[in-house]
Amino acid sequence: MEMRILQEMDIKQYQEQGYLIVENLISDEEIKQLRQRTEDIIAGHIPEYPSSTIELEPGANRIEMKTVRKLNACAENDAVFLSHAKHEKVLDIVESILGPDIKMYASQGFLKPPGGVEKPYHQDSAYFDIEPMNLVTCWTALDDVTLKKGPMWVIPSSHQNGIIDHSLKWKVRDRQDKQVPDNLIDHANEKPIIMPAGSCSFHHSLLLHRSTANLSNQSRRGLAIHYMSANSRWTNSKNPQPSYILMRGQEYPGCV
């Protein structure tokens, strides 16, 4: 099997900038299968897939390709997405960043249909009950990502400043969410992540990022898998620690 390990230069770029784009990492065949699975789930052809984890765009009330905003915990709930999360090429890159002992913290399908709403600036670690705050997300493009389709935008190197204020409220449907106040965002330096289907972007959980609204008439589907070192700690004393899936390497007693 072809192994793809990050070059030293790529690792340096990830460490300095907090993100990295690897074009055409996933084969056309695999992307086709992931798209088909997304469509089958939304069409209700996979009855065991829990519909409670499907989140709709504001104003929508039926599960359709043109209304679904997110598939929450998609890899935890589906073997096809889980197999993508265990993709050897993806794990090789994650290993170059996190080391050999890797667990999956969470997974999300961001389906952003035509007209799909923005997700404002945030750091993933503001949502993750894990320390140290150095998880890495692999975001795989299931469709070509263009400027018009509402790509992710990042503030390079912002992961170096630690966790920042998320006190600004943001509401999506009836869910109260949060975002970073605009005066803390260095808009002059933001960069869009534009890449063809089958490419992956990797980002640090402290990197400031957002995605804009989809102004095109095509979907912009992305599959995000959040990975952490198996040596991480659970930080939420109010809720019991979930059991996380080991993707590679070994478990550590007392850790996640």
Ligand X SMILES: O=C(O)CCC(=O)C(=O)O
* Selection from 160, 119, 109, 130 nearest residue 227 by Cα: 130
Residue 41 or 152 with smaller CB distance to ligand X: 152
CB of 51 to ligand X, least distance (A): 21
Given the complex with ligand X, which of 142 and 230 has the nearer CB atom? 142
| Residue 183 CA to its chain's centroid (Å) | 25
Beta carbon nearer to ligand X, 214 or 231: 214
DSSP bridge partners of 223: 109, 140
What is the closest distance, in whole angstroms, from the C-beta atom of residue 209 to ligand X in the complex? 6
- Closer to ligand X by Cβ: residue 17 or 137: 137
Q: Which amino acid is at 93?
A: I
What DSSP designation does 26 have? S
Query: Residue 150 Cβ, how far from ligand X at the closest point, in Å?
Result: 7
The binding site for ligand X (CB under 6 A) comprises 110, 112, 119, 124, 137, 139, 152, 209, 211, 222, 224
- 77-83 contacts at long range (C-beta below 8 A, 24 or more positions apart): 77/49, 77/50, 77/53, 78/37, 78/41, 78/46, 78/49, 80/33, 80/34, 80/37, 81/34, 81/37, 81/107, 81/109, 81/223, 82/245
3-class state of residue 2 by DSSP: coil
Tokens representing 236 are: 């939420």
The nearest distance, CB 141 to ligand X, in angstroms, is 10
For ligand X, give the closer residue by CB, 96 or 214: 214
CB of 123 to ligand X, least distance (A): 9
